[in-house]
């Protein structure tokens, strides 16, 4: 179901407009736009980044390993999920991984900045894509599973986003989240990426519980590489201009080795380990009215 933002009437998601007041979302670039006034707003992210990311994600160790971790989390905790929503899908790289691993899943994905949607559509033409403010999702008990991968750190009102996610989920539905971790790692890289926070250990879990979720699993990742990450992020400034693409220009052999190290971490997580520290964090949770066992 969708709740009309104008008259608040709930009606089936696939109806072309609200049967009560006739409201229908605008269209930008052929995509439904629920927050058109924000479609070009670069406050939380810069639209010009999408083209760069679209060419780099597929070959970069961190994005590749994160996709493996996300796919495992979904398969392990929500094997029966059929209706999936991704908030802040960006260029659709994570969405494409999910589409490949779970071909029977019905995919819906949103992005605040309309510039990202064309890239996502090219990667996952079967997905339903729309422009949307993650703070105000219109759905009511529409999805089995919601994902947001390195999205919440861009949004001041992350607790509002979590409440909206809960309302969008059916009873028993769940959420898979990844976020950057450890405020002491804050650097120019975070500022360039338009982050507003790096999460403290336990912070996201507390916010999820306050929003009406029960946490099933939580673990750091990018643990083995944390010393390297800290050395890179926290080295003193040399006076030269910050180069945001430096982290992507990695020799092929080193890139493969780093991916291999992250896959070792994922293997440990799959075996039940919860890694205490790391540059990123994975959290899996369910609505608090979900059954105690799945």
Residue found under tokens 């519980």: 209
In a domain, 88, yes or no: yes
Domain span at residue 47 reads: 31-287
The alpha helices in the chain, defined as continuous H runs, are 49-56, 61-77, 93-101, 117-123, 158-168, 188-192, 203-210, 226-234, 252-270
In a domain, 186, yes or no: yes
Question: Into how many domains does the chain fold?
Answer: 1
Secondary structure class of 71 (helix, strand, coil): helix
Yes or no: say if 28 and 40 are a contact pair by the CB < 8 Å rule. no
| CA 12/CA 21 separation, integer angstroms | 14
In a domain, 12, yes or no: no
pLDDT averaged over 10-residue windows placed end to end, the chain, 294 residues: 92 86 93 94 74 91 97 98 97 98 98 94 97 96 98 97 98 97 94 94 97 98 95 69 73 96 97 96 92 46
Distance (Å) of CA 290 to CA 212, 260, 285? 11, 35, 10
Helix, strand, coil in percent for the chain, rounding step 5: 40, 20, 40
> What is the pLDDT, as a whole number, of residue 51?
87
In a domain, 98, yes or no: yes
pTM for the whole structure? 0.93
In a domain, 47, yes or no: yes
In a domain, 168, yes or no: yes
| CA 155/CA 125 separation, integer angstroms | 27
In a domain, 293, yes or no: no
In a domain, 6, yes or no: no
Question: What CATH number did the domain enclosing 216 receive?
Answer: 3.40.50.150
> What is the pLDDT, as a whole number, of residue 242?
65
């Amino acid at each position: 179901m969708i709740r009309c933002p104008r008259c608040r009437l709930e009606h089936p998601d696939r109806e072309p407009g609200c049967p009560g007041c006739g409201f229908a979302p605008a269209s930008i670039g052929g995509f439904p736009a629920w927050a058109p006034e924000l479609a070009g707003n670069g406050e939380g992210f810069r639209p010009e980044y999408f083209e760069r990311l679209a060419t780099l994600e597929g070959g970069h160790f961190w994005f590749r390993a994160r996709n493996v971790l996300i796919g495992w989390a979904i398969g392990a905790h929500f094997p029966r999920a059929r209706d999936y929503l991704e908030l802040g899908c960006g260029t659709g790289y994570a969405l494409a991984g999910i589409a490949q691993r779970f071909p029977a899943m019905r995919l819906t994905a949103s992005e605040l900045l309309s510039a990202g949607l064309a890239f996502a559509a090219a990667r996952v033409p079967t997905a339903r894509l729309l422009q949307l403010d993650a703070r105000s999702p219109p759905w009511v008990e529409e999805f089995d599973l919601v994902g947001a991968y390195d999205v919440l750190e861009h949004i001041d009102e992350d607790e509002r986003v979590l409440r909206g996610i809960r309302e969008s989920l059916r009873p028993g539905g769940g959420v898979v989240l990844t976020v950057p971790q450890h405020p002491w790692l804050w650097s120019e890289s975070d500022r360039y990426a338009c982050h507003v926070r790096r999460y403290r250990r336990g912070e996201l879990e507390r916010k999820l519980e306050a929003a009406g979720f029960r946490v099933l699993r939580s673990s750091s990742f990018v643990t083995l590489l944390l010393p390297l990450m800290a050395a890179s992020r926290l080295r003193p400034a040399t006076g030269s201009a910050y180069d945001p693409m430096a982290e992507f220009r990695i020799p092929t052999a080193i890139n493969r080795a780093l991916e291999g190290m992250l896959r070792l971490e994922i293997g440990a997580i799959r075996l039940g380990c919860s890694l205490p520290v790391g540059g990123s964090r994975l959290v899996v949770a369910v609505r608090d009215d979900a059954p105690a066992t799945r």
